[in-house]
Amino acid sequence: MIDRWQTRRFRGKSGVTIAMLILALVMLTFAPL
Distances, alpha carbon 3 to alpha carbons 9, 10, 11, 15, 31, in Å: 10, 11, 12, 18, 42
CA dist 3 and 8 (Å) reads 9
Whether pLDDT at 14 is above 70? yes
Q: Mean pLDDT over residues 9-22, rounded?
A: 78
String of DSSP letters for 1-33: -HHHHHHHHHHHHHHHHHHHHHHHHHHHHHS--
CA dist 32 and 19 (Å) reads 21
* pLDDT on residue 33: 64
Whether pLDDT at 1 is above 60? no
* pLDDT on residue 25: 92
* pLDDT on residue 26: 92
* pLDDT on residue 22: 92
Whether pLDDT at 2 is above 60? no
Whether pLDDT at 29 is above 60? yes
One-letter amino acid at 18 equals I
